[in-house]
A and B are shown apart, each in its own frame.
Chain A
Amino acid sequence: QVHLVESGGGVVQPGRSLRLSCAASGFTFSAYPMHWVRQAPGKGLEWVAVVSSDGRTEYYADSVKGRFTISRDNSKSTLYLQVNTPRPEDTAVYYCVRDPGVRSEWLLIFDYWGQGTLVTVSS
């Protein structure tokens, strides 16, 4: 079955960088667009970014554009999120999420979610 496991979260100082990873299994990773979605403590869901199945096209929420970079390594079935110059408002659980748009750019809907990794931005 589909399995998504995030890692790389933790406490990071404002302005420092970190990279989140998501290991995928149970499906043909290279065929699906993938997203990151975050949730601040006690708050709702916020979409962060999407990458196409071949990794060539990306799109970002305005709140992270220019600071975050989504990428993927299809040979390793792994999704990444590079978080640069984080701010306290980036504190959240970050979820790796699959888009069911097989071999398309994306459908912008979500069918499988990982359990998330918590990023806390604090000095």
Chain B
Amino acid sequence: NLMLTQPHSVSGSPGETITISCTGSSGSIASNYVQWYQQRPGSAPTSVVRQDNQRPSGVPDRFSGSIDTSSNSASLTISGLKPEDEADYYCQSYDATTRVVFGGGTRLTVL
């Protein structure tokens, strides 16, 4: 069964660039699309990257997604870090049996 592993936490200072990884446990992570969601404290999640590297309307271009087949992982990169980027971030994908999987989440702290 597909599992997605994320680091528990990452941190960065305003203006810096950070990357959050999402590593697949089995099969190729490139086989199905990967999405990324931002969840601020007390709020519902919102989509920041869909279908590996597409930004939904309204999401700043500071947010970007990518796939690295050599490490079987997806990454979310946030450049020009801002205080309002502090949140939990979740990657999400699915397998051929219609099983939707989320990563465990990464807490981003803006120092």
A-side residues, CB < 8 A to B, are 35, 44-47, 50, 59, 61, 95, 100, 106-111, 113-116
Contacts and interface: CB of A to CB of B under 8 A. Distances in A.
A45 B90 contact: yes
20 contacts: A44-B102, A45-B39, A45-B92, A46-B102, A47-B102, A50-B98, A59-B98, A61-B99, A100-B50, A107-B33, A108-B94, A109-B35, A109-B47, A109-B51, A110-B37, A110-B47, A111-B56, A113-B46, A115-B43, A115-B44
Contacts of B103: 44
A46 B39 CA distance: 14
Contact of B101 (A47, A95, A106): A47
Contacts of B104: 44
B45 A45 contact: yes
Question: Most chain-B CB neighbours within 10 Å: which of A106, A110, A115, A116?
Answer: A110
* 10 nearest CB pairs, A to B: A47-B100, A108-B94, A113-B44, A45-B102, A44-B105, A59-B98, A109-B35, A44-B104, A115-B44, A108-B100
A7 B43 CA distance: 16
Interface in B65-109: 90, 92, 94, 98-105
